[in-house]
Chains A and B, each alone.
Chain A
Amino acid sequence: MAKISLIVNGNPVTANVDPRTLLVQFLRENLRLTGTHVGCDTSQCGACVVHLDGKAVKSCTTLAVMADGHEVKTIEGLAADGAPLHPMQEAFREHHGLQCGFCTPGMIMTAIDIVHRKGNELDDHTIREELEGNLCRCTGYQNIVTSISAGAKAMAKSDLA
Chain B
Amino acid sequence: MYDFKYHRPGTVRQAANLLVKNEDAKVIAGGHTLIPVMKQRLASPPHLVDLSHIDGLNTIEMKGRALVIGATARHAEVATSAIVGEAIPALANLAGQIGDPAVRHKGTIGGSLANNDPTADYPAAVLALGATIVTNKRRLKAEEYFQGLFTTALEADEIITKVMFPLPKKAAYIKFRNQASRYALVGVFVARRPSDVRVAVTGAGSEGVFRVTAFEEALKKRFAAKALDGIEVPADGLNSDIHGSAEYRAHLIGVLTRRALDAANAKE
Contacts and interface: CB of A to CB of B under 8 A. Distances in A.
B102 A2 contact: no
Contacts, number: 72
B2 A20 contact: yes
Interface in A13-56: 18-20, 22, 41-43, 46, 49, 52, 55-56
Contacts of B76: 55
Given A18-B3, A132-B100, A57 B48 contact: no
B101 A63 contact: no
Interface string A49-71: 10010011110011101101100
Contacts of A130: 101
Q: How large is the interface on A (under 10, 10 to 19, 20 to 34, 35 or more residues)?
A: 20 to 34
Interface in A120-156: 130, 132-134
B35 interface: yes
Contact of A56 (B38, B39, B102): B102
Nearest to A41: B39
Interface string B22-44: 00000010011001101100000
B105 interface: yes
Contact of B3 (A19, A55, A69): A19
A46 B102 contact: yes
Contacts of B50: 65-66
Given A19-B3, A19-B5, A49 B31 contact: no
Given A42-B36, A43-B36, A110 B101 contact: yes
B101 A114 contact: yes
A94 to B, nearest CB: 24
Given A57-B102, A132-B101, A20 B1 contact: yes
Contacts of A110: 101-102
Task: Count chain B CB atoms within 10 A of each CB in A18, A58, A134 and give the residue with the most.
Answer: A58
Contacts of B32: 43, 61
Contacts of A22: 35
Task: Count chain A CB atoms within 10 A of each CB in B53, B100, B106 and give the residue with the most.
Answer: B100
Given A57-B102, A57-B105, A62 B31 contact: yes
Nearest to B53: A69
Interface string B168-196: 00000000000000100000000000000
Contacts of A134: 100
B106 A61 contact: yes
B105 A2 contact: no
The 9 residue pairs across chains A and B that have the minimum distance between CB atoms: A133-B100, A19-B6, A132-B100, A55-B105, A20-B1, A56-B102, A65-B6, A58-B102, A61-B35
10 contacts: A20-B1, A42-B36, A55-B76, A61-B35, A63-B6, A63-B31, A63-B35, A68-B8, A117-B101, A134-B100
